[in-house]
Amino acid sequence: MKTFHNPHHALHQGREEMFRGRMVPCHEVPARLDYVLAELQRRSLGGLHTPEVNDAELDAAIARVHDARYTQFLASAWDEWVAMDPANAQRDALPSVWPLGNRHAFRTDVLPQNFAARLGLFSYDSGSPLTAGTWAAARGGAACALAAARELLAGERAAFALTRPPGHHAGPDFFGGYCFLNNSAIAAQALRDGGKQRVAVLDVDYHHGNGTQTIFYERADVFTASVHGDPATEYPFFLGHADERGAGAGEGFNLNLPLPRGTGFEAWCAALDTAIDAIDDFNADALVVPMGLDTFEGDPISGFTLKSEDYDTVGRLLAAAGVPTVFVFEGGYAVAEVGVNAVNLLEGFCRSI
Ligand code: SP5
Ligand code: ZN
């Protein structure tokens, strides 16, 4: 399995995130990716590549998933942040005011001139710092997703998009949850556009993939499934419940399998099996796996108890789905273990195909 890694990832390096009234060091750090890269090299899983995608192709693939006014905002966000106050060059941009999108009558159709207001318009939390290099890093990540999708379109059984920042919380026009561009959705859409008829997304990150769900919610050609911590107690809180089944043409094409904090491997696997059965019924001809490793027992911000050796089994179960598969790196904040856990999963997959 080829890995496409993002040479620009470290340009995105947030300092602190807001958590319950104080600033805490960012969990989503460049070292995460470096650990995965080192483990891939150590175990020589397959070739390491940087994506060969030109700017026009990349812009087109991003535009299939994200709104123009949002990507235009991201492209100039840092310059506008610094223009607000030259001293901002030393601080990351974090939103502090939001419109209540679908509640009451706050206007989201009028683009505010005030940059801080736009920062809020296009986000939903204050835990996702936007930095000088965020846009370049996020674009590099989207290029990895596109390159991995192309591998499948060229007939490969699997490919791995190793990138940060992660993507599955980013929606058509919002960032949040450390995510700016939805790499998994970009891969899924590229697979559709390249001729795959029915694409499934199976999100195994600890957190519900709200951005991906929202992007495909009214579509029957992309089936989205997610196994995650119950949003009643876990981030992202406002989406990810079992009764969200899709809408309009997409009704019945979204499957949420929330599990309580503290869930162990056996119950987690039962949920994964349920999702794989549903993907089988959907008759997917390609699969995208937003691959979060924050289900690990040692994860500092999550609540499941998977062990390092369990990821090998996860890979084997995913291989049994029997569908060409793109893996996209998402969460996983036990930094020193994230490489071993990621490669255990990918190796388990490769051994079983
Ligand atoms: C891609 C992904 O996994 N995003 C997760 C975003 C979670 N954001 C909220 C986390 C709050 C963590 N607070 C940590 C406090 C440490 N004492
Ligand atoms: Zn996560």
Is the shortest distance between the CB of 25 and ligand 1 below 6 Å? Answer: no
3-state secondary structure the chain: CEEEECCCHHHCCCCEEEECCEEEECCCCHHHHHHHHHHHHHHCCCCEECCCCCHHHHHHHHHCCCCHHHHHHHHHHHHHHHHHCHHHHHCCECCCCCCCCCCCCCCCCCCCCCHHHHHHHCECCCCCCECCCHHHHHHHHHHHHHHHHHHHHCCCCEEEEECCCCCCCCECCEEECCECCCHHHHHHHHHHHCCCCCEEEEECCCCCCHHHHHHHCCCCCEEEEEEEECCCCCCCCCCCCCCCCCCHHHCCCEEEEEECCCCCHHHHHHHHHHHHHHHHHHCCCEEEEEECCCCECCCCCCCCCECCCHHHHHHHHHHHCCCCEEEEECCCCCHHHHHHHHHHHHHHHHHCC
Residues with CB under 5 A from ligand 2 (ion): 205-207, 292, 294, 331
Q: What is the pLDDT of residues 104-113, one digit of tens each?
A: 778 899 999 9
- Separation between Cα atoms, residue 348 and residue 268, nearest integer Å: 17
Is the shortest distance between the CB of 235 and ligand 1 below 6 Å? Answer: yes
Is the shortest distance between the CB of 17 and ligand 1 below 6 Å? Answer: no
Q: In the prediction, which pLDDT does 44 show?
A: 86
Closest atom of ligand 1 relative to the 333 alpha carbon: 3
Q: How many angstroms does the Cα of residue 124 sit away from the middle of ligand 2?
A: 16
Nearest C-alpha neighbor of 206 from the set 242, 169, 173 = 169
Q: How many angstroms does the Cα of residue 177 sit away from the middle of ligand 1?
A: 7
Q: Tell the burial category of 80 from Cβ atoms under 10 Å away from its Cβ (0-12, 13-18, 19+).
A: middle
Phi/psi for 224 (5° steps) reads -110, 130
Catalytic residue among 12, 66, 169, 207: 169
Q: How many angstroms does the Cα of residue 262 sit away from the middle of ligand 1?
A: 16
Closest atom of ligand 1 relative to the 205 alpha carbon: 3
Closest atom of ligand 1 relative to the 166 alpha carbon: 1
Q: In the prediction, which pLDDT does 187 show?
A: 99
- Separation between Cα atoms, residue 147 and residue 311, nearest integer Å: 25
Is the shortest distance between the CB of 203 and ligand 1 below 6 Å? Answer: no
Annotated catalytic, 49?
no
Q: What is the pLDDT of residues 41-88, one digit of tens each?
A: 999 899 999 999 999 999 999 999 999 999 999 999 999 999 999 999
pTM of the model: 0.97
Q: Ligand 1, residues 124, 181, 207: which to mutate, most atoms within 8 A of Cβ?
A: 207
Q: Ligand 1, residues 18, 178, 291: which to mutate, most atoms within 8 A of Cβ?
A: 178
- Separation between Cα atoms, residue 30 and residue 141, nearest integer Å: 13
Mean pLDDT by 10 residues, the chain (353 residues): 97 96 97 98 94 97 98 98 97 93 82 96 96 98 98 98 98 98 99 98 99 98 98 98 98 98 98 98 98 98 98 98 98 98 98 96
Is the shortest distance between the CB of 249 and ligand 1 below 6 Å? Answer: no
Q: Which residue's CA lies nearest to atom 14 of ligand 1?
A: 301
Q: Ligand 1, residues 12, 16, 18, 19: which to mutate, most atoms within 8 A of Cβ?
A: 19
